[in-house]
Structure 1
Amino acid sequence: MRAIILAAGKGERMRPLTLTTPKPLLPAGGRPLIAYHLETLRKAGLTDIVINHAWLGEQIETQLGNGTRFGVRIRYSPEGEPLETAGGIARALPLLTEGGNDWFLVINGDIWTDFDITRLSPPDDADALLVLVDNPAHHPDGDFYLNDHGQLSPDGPDKLTFSGISLLHRRLFDDLDDAAGKLGPVLRRAMARERVHGLHHTGQWIDVGTPERLQMLDHWLRQRPGTP
């Protein structure tokens, strides 16, 4: 199975930090944010990784290279002007599904988590498996409802927040191209067919979307034993 790290956003909420540095390369705990994902994926056995990029994307390629020093193989899906999430995945789909692979892992480049990727296994009766987390203070209403059977729906009591980590099947993108827009509507259409499952992660997770949350993560990581 291959994985894609979504790293094409302009990081407008992170300005002025992202005026000269793409958000995935911003440091936390002495390392670029994206380095944590590369390590997590490698430890989970996912060593064939695609990274899409747009804003200052050449810096990402220069710093990460082909991935050898991280113990992985990195290929890139450049976008020029940033595409929305579903469009970016659709453009990268040939890299993710070559050789007949149907499932691939997607992870947002602007999160940090201790989620164990090995917990994910492609479901037999679904087109997507999403990792959900408790609602953070900045997103109190959540995104999706996880029922007792592990299925997701757009509405329901006590909705949870989509973590930005998912397993997706290639058929979700049938008849879609890089103008597909955001991933949310694609997932909601699949939910209407009862084809999306969910998994609740109760451990550490942070959406590193603002300078304040980046600073908070940096401070927390530097307090952890073994952090450089």
Structure 2
Amino acid sequence: MAGKVPGLRAPDKGPSRGGGRTGDPRPARRLQQAAGDSGGVSVKTVILAGGYARRLWPITLDRPKPLLPVAGKPILDYLMERYPFPEPPILSTNRRFAADFSAWAKERGYSIQLAVEDTAAEEEKLGSVGALARLVEVLDLKDDLLVIGGDNLFSFELGELVASFHGEVLVALYELGDPQVARRRYGVAVVEGDLVVGFQEKPEDPRSSLASTACYVFPRRVLPLFRDFLNQAPAGQDAPGYFLSWLLSRERIRAFVFREGWFDIGGREAYIAANLHFNGGKSWIHPEAEVRGSRIERSVVLGPSLIENSRLSGCVVDEGAELSGVELEDTLIGRGSRLRAAD
């Protein structure tokens, strides 16, 4: 049993029906084989879901971003359905949203281990590296670790990533096609062959078109270095990109490059783009939403609501909203909002 560390509770076990929903067993076999290929070691999985998603407020004021629906299905469902994990993944979250994830896992029949940070607001939360350091300490983790951001959607086979792991840090990189796409937006990796030689965190002048996604495999020997890094890092520099830059002088880092598709759902535009992609290029409108005499373009309507005589473009509308005679662009509309044109 792990000891107690302030600010984090040890995992609560979710429903015990296996690490994913019933389905094609082949991905699970690939993961098990991949573990065997890397020396017979066990690869544990951590899903990071501890953020408060302020860029999507008010939509995410009272719901965790990884449970936002994309084309009607929670983001995390895509991960759990696509990759039936050989053992339940550890889902790291905060006190504010722990009950939401527990209810989601129970409803869906997923088996997860829930690790809860003792935080309930943006100002208190741990960064990604801080969360990993606490998990390693509380759970006494000693296995190779697959780490996945809970707000990312990607199309490559997770089994292929794990099979590509051979004892060195492995980072999944998405080929953007043009370095300027990453400008001020994504961290990028500079690669020679399959070896990472540099990182830039949301650079002004990107030197690479390979975006660093929130998907990594860390060998067990690296796990204590999370805390070592935090003890040296300046305040506000605990993002994975800074850690990987620091790690480059200590470890070889390999690149796993993919092109199949990736969505980093950080804000409104990326969230809408993911919905359009998974809904055949069309706006996603909840089947119980009532739309009359309105035009809805590149938008998402999350639940039962009323939209009449209105035009929406680039909007996200939460459930229970009533919109009448309005024209809105690039707007997040909170739950239960009432908007009417002025008389």
Q: TM-score, normalised by structure 2?
A: 0.56
Greater mean deviation of Cα atoms: 152-161 or 14-23: 152-161
CA deviation vs aligned residue, 1:146-177 (integer Å, no higher than 9, x gap): 111x1112259425111111111232232644
Higher helix fraction (1 or 2): 1
**Kindly tell me: are residues 175 and 108 of structure 1, through their superposed partners in 2, closer, same or farther at Cα, counting changes over 3 Å?**
closer
1:167 aligns with 2:207: no
Closer, same or farther: CA 221–34 of 1 in aligned 2, 3 Å? same
> Partner residue of 1:77?
115
The equivalent of 2:190 in structure 1 is: 145
Which position in structure 1 is the counterpart of 2:333? none
Q: Is the contact between residue 229 and residue 243 of structure 2 (CA under 8 Å) also seen in structure 1? A: no
* Alignment partner, residue 242 of structure 2: 185
**Gap runs ≥5 in structure 1:** none
Shift of 1:207: 0.9
Letter in 1 for 2:129: A
1:198 is matched with: 255
The equivalent residue for 1:92 is 135
* Alignment RMSD: 2.8
Rg larger in structure: 2
The answer as to 2:70 corresponding to 1:25 is no
The DSSP-based 3-state class of the residue aligned with 1:18 is coil
Amino acid at match of 2:192: N
Q: Which amino acid aligns with 2:133?
A: A
Q: Is the 8 A contact 1:144 1:154 kept in 2?
A: yes
Counterpart residue type for residue 205 of structure 1:
W
TM-score by length of 1: 0.82
Secondary structure of 2:279's aligned partner: helix
- 1:114-133, aligned counterparts within 5 Å? 114-120=155-161, 121=163, 123-124=165-166, 126=168, 128-133=169-174
Distance 1:53 1:37, change over 3 A: same
How has the CA–CA distance of structure 1 residues 143 and 175 changed in structure 2, closer, same or farther, with 3 Å as cutoff?
closer
Q: How far off is 1:68 after superposition?
A: 7.2
Say if 2:151 is the partner of 1:104: no
**Alpha-carbon contact 2:91-2:114 (below 8 Å) kept:** yes
Distance 1:211 1:47 in 2: 33
Deviation at 1:178, TM superposition (A): 10
The unaligned stretches of length 5 or more in structure 2 are: 1-42, 120-124, 200-205, 231-237, 282-286, 288-343
Structure 2 partner of 1:51: 91
SS at match of 2:89: strand
